[in-house]
Chains A and B, each alone.
Chain A
Amino acid sequence: MLTIKKYVYIPCGTDLTALYRAEVGDYPKFFKMDTACKLGFLLAERLAEEPRFTPREDRAVLMFSTCGSLCNDRHYEDSVREFPSPSLFVYTLPNIITGEIAIRNKFEGETSAYVLEWFDPETFVALVEQAFQDAVTESAVCGWVDARADDDFTAFAFLVERDGNGMEFNKETIYGTVNQ
């Protein structure tokens, strides 16, 4: 059975730079990230547990959205008209968010990005459960980060583990937690 160890969210409209300066402050790469990656990074910081930064293969990073990298795709497409920007292009992939979280936290386990039509708790839970078929995966940072524009987003994440003491990770508890 999967259980929820922790739940975090970032309200739409939050000033992400201010949040970074207040809660993190020591990772200048943050400023290079696109909005989706900033959100994923900040969520993962809030889920982080001590000891940090020790390489581990047993924690997966599973991120979901509807828009994928669309918000940054538009920024890159704008750059193409003059000089295509390599640093914008590298963020035109929906899974870079999982890579940024893995790099920061030294998570060497599975990282996967999924695109769904909307946040459907049933599919979300099913896909996370299926990811735990990997015999090495014991816990996962799994979240919904949907950046429709730089100032219009939905962002929340769970730290989920096998057989922990928290609430069961199922569609009812997810629905209840996210709606709160």
Chain B
Amino acid sequence: MEQLINEIKLKLIDALNLDGMTPEDIDDNAPLFGDEGLGLDSIDVLELIVLLERNYGIRLANPQEGKAVFQSIAVMADYVAANRTK
């Protein structure tokens, strides 16, 4: 799981164009959205949907589903581990 979390962080930094950030800058349990933590927004949800499909073969049709999955890096990693097709 440790390895998957790190991998997701690296992919997220790349996908969201968070130049200058490293995995150490992101807390596993901090909220990804809203004013706390990374402060990601609705466009980032769409970008994370692309990330899941591209890397793990998981298709989320609806951005609303994404909100639950993308609560934190830890929640996201659990979801990927349970649903990945590649």
Contacts and interface: CB of A to CB of B under 8 A. Distances in A.
Assess A/B contact in the complex (Cβ within 8 A): yes
Interface of A: 17, 21, 28-29, 31-32, 82-88, 90
Interface residues of B, number: 16
Contact of A31 (B18, B46, B53): B18
A85 B21 contact: no
Contacts of B28: none
Q: Which of A29, A87, A90 has the most CB of B within 10 A?
A: A87
A87 B16 contact: yes
Contacts of B50: 83-86
Contacts of A31: 16-21
B44 A17 contact: no
Contacts of B20: 17, 21, 31
Contact of B17 (A32, A82, A83, A84): A32
Interface in B11-60: 15-21, 38-39, 43-44, 46-47, 50, 53-54
Contacts of A28: 18, 38-39
A87 B53 CA distance: 16
Given A31-B19, A87-B15, 18 more contacts: A17-B19, A28-B18, A28-B39, A29-B39, A31-B16, A31-B18, A31-B20, A32-B16, A32-B18, A84-B50, A85-B15, A85-B50, A86-B43, A86-B46, A86-B47, A87-B16, A87-B47, A88-B17
Contact of A87 (B21, B39, B44): B44
B63 to A, nearest CB: 10
A77 to B, nearest CB: 16
A34 to B, nearest CB: 8
Contacts of B47: 85-87
| Cβ-closest 3 pairs across A and B | A86-B46, A87-B47, A17-B20
Nearest to A87: B47
